[in-house]
Amino acid sequence: MPKSTTSSKEVAPTVSHVQIDSLESLSMTSKETPLRLAVKTDVLSAETLWAMKICTSHYSHKSSEASGDLFRRMFPDSVIAATFKCGEDKSSYLINHGIAPYFKSLLIEKMKSESSPFVLLFDESMNSKTQSKQMDVHVRVWVGEEVRTRYYQSEFMGHATAENMMSVLDTATSDLHMQNIIQLSMDGPNVNWKFYDLFESKLKKEYNKSLLNTGSCGLHVVHGSFKKGVEATGWSIDEFLKNIHWLLKDTPARREDYVGIVGDVAVMPLHFCKTRWTENVPVVERTMEMLPQLLVYVKAVEESKVAHPKTKSYEVVEDSCRDPLLEAKLSFYRCVGKDIQPFLTLYQTDKPMMPFLSSDLYDLLKRLMNRVMKFEVMLTITNAVKLCNINASDVDNHLHYRKIDVGFSADKLLRKLQQDKKISERQEMEFRQEAKSFIVAVVGNLLNKCPLQYPLVRNMACLDARKMANAKEDCKCKFKRILHILVESSRVREDDCDEIIK
């Protein structure tokens, strides 16, 4: 930049509005001064940074409406603040037509590299604003020495058949070198698997390559299996947990009645949502803590000591509280949830977890199966392949109902209920049989759908450093199986395999 003719004193931080106005008038000349260019660049940079702050902090565009006035008040001696303008419309324009296209262009440039492999991730959900289905597309790529996941694009559609999804994804990924895709990541509805087959057929036809199949999202599978188990019991625990929250939500009068009956020690329920995977256990723990208070409140309503809520949520809670086995059911629900929660928490990460996935799923399945399977059956399960071949629903493999492991707390509660003559032996048997149905449904769904079914997932365990140290020869065998898969999918040349093994 050419040297400015203005002295440093004249461009001191204490620039008046008159000086700013004079700077504005310079824009009318045919040639802008270096000072004017510097101010314009700095102001635009500040506005861009502010727009990025709005985006990353999830502020509304409306919240930026008076930002210029605020900054001028905060920094009265700043040239930049004096001309800063980034209201609702401008912030939206900067983000949607300036910043977003720029970052996407950088991503596309990275993706267009002929040797840059990537994973494509997609998910569809209802967009209530457009009243259409929105397919969000993300890409997972190498950035330096890290693998990162980046949002790529969204497309909208009405029908969501496999063919529709194929057409929409073709449009969304038209800028990408699809021969570099190595995996398609998704959740597990049947329509997605049909789409997967169509996509792989196209990839095979156009580029003579196959996708590396590691199954659908393990988190979806594990959480979905837990839901299947809950449904198999017929206990309606989820409905009970949900309605406790709604019974006392946004109702000051009812909350006052509840606190008045149970005292200052009253505990309020947590919000239960079937799709908040890692929150099932905290919600049921809070419910068990407040259960004695809830029973006191229901009794007070029955005795007309407080007003009857006359709502559907209260009817559900009241019916559940009449069940003498309610606490035992909640205890068993919590026990199984605690088996599953660590997996759901650990794998909600961008870290490379595939080498540990098969071991963690194997351990999870064995823990669950030990609750209902005979000891001699469990002795035969020495690896993931044998585990996948077990028929979880075969009653010949199941323990006698009295030996079903329902958890320490539930087992203690059952004994106490029987001693107090509150339940019969038949009720205990039915409870244990229903608990067995819970575990069998969870295990059966996991065995049918979990990534452990796929050879690539099982053999990726060879990259687990713990196994490399303790089972070197087994890791070598698994690594060779991975190479066979990579050669068959045209991802690695056969001539390079010996060098890779070395």
For 62-74, write each residue's pLDDT tens digit. Answer: 988 888 999 999 9
Q: Are residues 305 and 226 in the same domain?
A: yes
The answer to whether the CB of 137 falls within 8 A of the CB of 155 is yes
187 exposure class (CB count in 10 Å sphere: 0-12, 13-18, 19+): middle
263 exposure class (CB count in 10 Å sphere: 0-12, 13-18, 19+): exposed
Report if residue 4 sits inside a domain. Answer: no
What 3-state DSSP class applies to 389? coil
Report if residue 109 sits inside a domain. Answer: no
The answer to whether the CB of 397 falls within 8 A of the CB of 379 is no
Report if residue 1 sits inside a domain. Answer: no
Q: Are residues 363 and 267 in the same domain?
A: yes
**Average pLDDT of the chain to the nearest whole number:** 86
314's tokens: 């209260």
How many domains, the chain?
4
Report if residue 272 sits inside a domain. Answer: yes
pLDDT > 90: what percent of the chain? Answer: 47
Q: Are residues 21 and 132 in the same domain?
A: no
Residue 28 above 50 pLDDT?
Answer: no
Q: Are residues 316 and 385 in the same domain?
A: yes
DSSP 209-271: -------S-HHHHHHHHHHHHHHHHT--HHHHHHHHHHHHTT-HHHHHHHHHHH-TT--PPPP
200's tokens: 């792989």
Report if residue 143 sits inside a domain. Answer: yes
Residue 145: per-residue pLDDT? 80
Q: Are residues 416 and 481 in the same domain?
A: no
Q: For residue range 217-254, what is the model confidence (pLDDT) as tens digits? A: 888 899 889 999 999 998 989 999 999 999 999 889 99
179: confidence class by pLDDT, cuts 50, 70, 90: confident
130: confidence class by pLDDT, cuts 50, 70, 90: confident
Report long-range pairs for 462-468 (Cβ below 8 Å, ≥24 apart).
Answer: 462/355, 463/354, 463/355, 464/355, 464/356, 464/359, 467/359
Residue 426: per-residue pLDDT? 94
Report if residue 345 sits inside a domain. Answer: yes
89's tokens: 């419309």
**121 phi/psi in degrees, rounded to 5:** -120, 140
Q: Are residues 124 and 185 in the same domain?
A: yes
Rounded to an integer, what distance in angstroms lies between the CA atom of residue 357 and that of residue 351? 12
Residue 37: per-residue pLDDT? 61
Report if residue 484 sits inside a domain. Answer: yes
**Last residue in a domain, options 53, 71, 99:** 99
Q: What is the mean pLDDT of the segment spanning 138-145?
A: 84
32: confidence class by pLDDT, cuts 50, 70, 90: low
Residue 5 above 50 pLDDT?
Answer: no
Domain residue limits at 59: 9-99
Q: Are residues 237 and 368 in the same domain?
A: yes
Q: Are residues 303 and 443 in the same domain?
A: yes
Report if residue 80 sits inside a domain. Answer: yes
Rounded to an integer, what distance in angstroms lies between the CA atom of residue 364 and that of residue 385? 15
Q: What is the mean pLDDT of the segment spanning 141-165?
A: 84
**Last residue in a domain, options 423, 438, 455:** 455
For residues 231 and 15, which has the higher predicted lDDT (pLDDT)? Answer: 231
- Residue 123: give its domain's CATH number: 3.30.420
Distances (CA, A) of 343 to 121, 147, 218, 357, 406: 21, 21, 10, 9, 20
Q: Are residues 253 and 353 in the same domain?
A: yes
Report long-range pairs for 400-404 (Cβ below 8 Å, ≥24 apart).
Answer: 401/429, 401/432, 401/433, 401/436, 402/432, 404/371, 404/372, 404/432, 404/433, 404/435, 404/436
Q: What is the mean pLDDT of the segment spanning 459-480?
A: 91
**Last residue in a domain, options 211, 238, 260:** 211
Which residues face 138 on adjacent strands? 121, 151
Residue 3 above 70 pLDDT?
Answer: no
Residue 159: per-residue pLDDT? 82
Distances (CA, A) of 288 to 44, 283, 285, 300, 322: 56, 9, 5, 19, 15
| Type of residue found at 240 | F
Q: Are residues 173 and 228 in the same domain?
A: no
Q: Are residues 289 and 177 in the same domain?
A: no
Q: Are residues 145 and 187 in the same domain?
A: yes
Residue 26: per-residue pLDDT? 38
Q: What is the mean pLDDT of the segment spanning 298-310?
A: 92
